[in-house]
Structure 1
Amino acid sequence: MTHSTRPVTLITGAAGGIGAALARALAGTHTLILQGRDPARLAALADEVGGQPLLLDLLAPDTFGEALAGLGRVTNVVHNAGVAELGAVAEQGHAAWTHTLGVNVVAPAELTRLLLPRVREERGTLVFVNSGAGLRANPGWASYAASKFALRALADALRDEEAPHGVRVSTVYPGRTATPMQQQVRAQEGGAYDPDAYLTPETVAATIHFVLGAPRDAALPDLSVRPGPR
């Protein structure tokens, strides 16, 4: 496979646990565009996997068009970036809601809109990394779950809209995964962080890799991934 015929895959939140694991899993077979907002971490990962860094603040959607203008082909987009700020509805103000929905929903929607012409040309795939919270909302998780329910709605509508263009849309619902974000969540919950009880980022990355490489006659709309027996 030559460089010019490789799929070009853009990963958001690429420097995080799942994003970095996915970049490593795809290195050598995909041309990678790695979105993040930490220049040092992004540059280190880009050097490791041979990817192109894309510095982008997901809370500034008005900057997306200019940032993406220089990109060439884009075959696949993996919407992996996300934030989680726990709290009861009675305690969380509009700033928490705006931040969570901005990163988890508005940014993926706007990036998708801007990148769709390229993905259509490639008959590519869009993957939305969701959460178990996108299927069920628990106490203290209202803003995060609302954002993930909305992300699911975005993917569901997009799937039918883009089918005539040959674009596939999948949502992956990982269970708790051993990432820095999960450490923060457990701290907010006041519980212990036990990475051995969770999925590894590499397992979730392998699932996304499978989705991206599925034969063209297969549609994989929704996949839930949970820790298996040890």
Structure 2
Amino acid sequence: MAAHLITGAGSGIGAVLAERLTERGDDLWLLARDARRAAELRERFPAAKTLVGNLADPAKLSWAFGHQALPVELDSLLHVAGVVELGRVGDLPVKAWQDTLNVNLVAPAELTRLLLPSLRLAKGHVVFVNSGAGLSAGAEWSAYAASKHGLKALADSLRQEEHAGGVRVTSVYPGRTATPMQVKVHQQEGKAYDAERWIDPESVVRALLTALDLPRDAEITEITVRPGK
């Protein structure tokens, strides 16, 4: 039975991913920002184990994990959680930059560092759910795109560092996907939201699982998923 740790399992892509892995009978570890969120995740995924650690405060993740049992061997670490704050460079305050970079970049780096021993033992797989904004930045997307460009760099470096030891690394670049984050984006853009225009989270998860399930003789390093309509 494979063991997976997922961030962002409470909604959107992360929730669908947790559902599909649960259906397969895999062993799930779900990261929650606090005890209340952990209880909600256990209610939704009764077979899963939870870890508490706030991605918004990555400097405290090591301390938090020091008080909890971690998986000894981990087949995959799936970075799905993220935040977005749109705004022009001339308007975005420092806090918006710090909050975005903490959750989207610094926390994944720290979480990966803390769990690398477990991943190395299993010759596991690190998957970063990035974004189309990790490849190209548009107006008012500076903070989010910067965090996602950084996440691509993190994945690329990690892949080169860990390849010889058997740890695989994949970046997934979804276009606009019908998730609660996309609802927030539309609110910030002042646009009407129509879920039918965007990618179903299920489609992103199917692409991700293709990389995760690939035989060991090959590695999918990058997947770009775009709306088909």
TM over 0.5: yes
Matched letter for residue 77 of structure 1: L
1:43-81 deviations in Å (ceiling 9; x for gaps): 343344311122211122233224334112222101111
Q: Paired residue for 1:22?
A: 17
1:166 aligns with 2:163: no
CA contact 2:34–2:53 (8 Å) conserved in 1 = no
Matched letter for residue 98 of structure 2: T
Q: Paired residue for 2:42?
A: 46
Map 1:1-230 to 2 at 5 A. 6-27=1-22, 28-37=24-33, 39-49=35-45, 50-69=47-66, 70-72=69-71, 73-229=73-229
Tell me the TM-score normalised to structure 1 length.
0.93
Unpaired segments of 5 or more residues in structure 1?
A: 1-5
Deviates more, 1:29-38 or 1:91-100: 29-38
Measure the CA separation in 2 of the matches of 1:54 and 1:216: 29
Tell me the TM-score normalised to structure 2 length.
0.93
CA contact 2:132–2:173 (8 Å) conserved in 1 = yes
Matched letter for residue 61 of structure 2: F
Measure the CA separation in 1 of the matches of 2:225 and 2:35: 31
Deviation at 1:41, TM superposition (A): 4.9
CA contact 2:86–2:185 (8 Å) conserved in 1 = yes
The 3-state SS of whatever aligns with 1:164 is helix
Matched letter for residue 187 of structure 1: Q
The 3-state SS of whatever aligns with 1:9 is strand
Q: How many residues align?
A: 224
Matched letter for residue 149 of structure 1: H
Deviates more, 1:63-72 or 1:159-168: 63-72
Measure the CA separation in 2 of the matches of 1:38 and 1:113: 21
Measure the CA separation in 1 of the matches of 2:210 and 2:48: 20
Deviation at 1:194, TM superposition (A): 0.6
The 3-state SS of whatever aligns with 1:211 is helix
CA contact 2:53–2:65 (8 Å) conserved in 1 = no
Matched letter for residue 56 of structure 1: G
Measure the CA separation in 1 of the matches of 2:205 and 2:125: 15
Measure the CA separation in 2 of the matches of 1:159 and 1:208: 17
CA contact 1:13–1:80 (8 Å) conserved in 2 = yes
CA contact 2:172–2:208 (8 Å) conserved in 1 = yes
1:167-226 deviations in Å (ceiling 9; x for gaps): 000000011111111100010011111100111111112222221111111111110011
- Pair 1:38–1:177, CA change in 2 (3 A): farther
Deviation at 1:38, TM superposition (A): 5.5
> What percent of counterpart residues are identical?
50
CA contact 1:39–1:55 (8 Å) conserved in 2 = yes
CA contact 1:8–1:75 (8 Å) conserved in 2 = yes
The 3-state SS of whatever aligns with 2:216 is coil
